[in-house]
């Protein structure tokens, strides 16, 4: 009884230890998956929010001929505000690697274009904006709207790509009012 019992006990203990390690590895994997899914959901929501803002911005675009007339009448600087949301992206840059490579590129390009738009809008309030020709000022606004339209389109495509790449998350754009 003694030797066989010790072998049996040793085998049982070894099995318990192996199973506990397997469970621990599985639990860590589930935790990483949940964190990844949460990050993807949050990034999707932030891109959706920014894309919806771009939708509204593009829809309210100034007519460039009207802008030219207003600039010819008097000094005029269009009032354009910018409130891009980038905290999920900026605070989680190291987590981008959980995304498929093509998606990483598109996310970085989207946020880079948002930054370019912010800089273009800041440029409208600089003294130098008022010193360029009327045609130059109209072109600045035209480029701003073209960049915003491109970013809006890229954001919409990025959201569709995320929906396709992560079907189990059931990602959907939020319908916003106003």
pLDDT in tens, 148-167: 999 999 999 999 999 999 99
32-56 b/e (C-beta count within 10 Å ≥ 16 → b): eeeeeeebbbbbbebbbbbbbbbbe
Q: Which tokens belong to 54? A: 């771009």
pLDDT of residue 153: 96
Asked if the model's pLDDT at residue 81 lies above 70, the reply is: no
Global confidence as pTM:
0.81
Residues in the chain: 178
Does the pLDDT at position 62 exceed 90? no
Neighbours of 18 (CB within 10 A): 10
- The confidence score (pLDDT) of residue 101 equals 93
Average the pLDDT over 92-104 and give the result.
Answer: 93
For the chain, the helix, strand and coil percentages under 3-state DSSP, each to the nearest 5: 80, 0, 20
Query: Which burial class, exposed, middle or buried, applies to 149 when counting CB atoms under 10 A from its CB (0-12, 13-18, 19+)?
Result: middle
Of 11-20, 116-125, 149-158, which one has max mean pLDDT? 149-158
């Amino acid at each position: 009884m003694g030797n066989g019992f010790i072998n049996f006990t040793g085998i049982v203990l070894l099995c318990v230890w192996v199973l506990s390690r397997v469970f621990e590895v599985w639990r860590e994997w589930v935790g990483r998956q949940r964190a990844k899914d949460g990050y993807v959901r949050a990034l999707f929501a932030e891109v959706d929010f920014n894309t919806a803002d771009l939708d509204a911005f593009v829809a309210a675009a100034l007519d460039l001929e009207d802008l030219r007339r207003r600039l010819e009448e008097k000094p005029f600087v269009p009032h354009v505000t910018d409130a891009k949301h980038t905290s999920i992206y900026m605070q989680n840059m190291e987590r981008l690697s959980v995304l498929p490579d093509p998606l990483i590129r598109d996310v970085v390009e989207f946020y880079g274009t948002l930054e370019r738009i912010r800089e273009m809008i800041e440029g409208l309030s600089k003294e130098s904006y008022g010193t360029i020709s009327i045609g130059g000022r109209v072109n600045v606004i035209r480029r701003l709207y073209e960049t915003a339209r491109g970013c809006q389109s890229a954001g919409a495509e990025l959201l569709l790509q995320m929906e396709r790449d992560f079907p189990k998350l059931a990602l959907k754009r939020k319908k916003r009012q106003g």
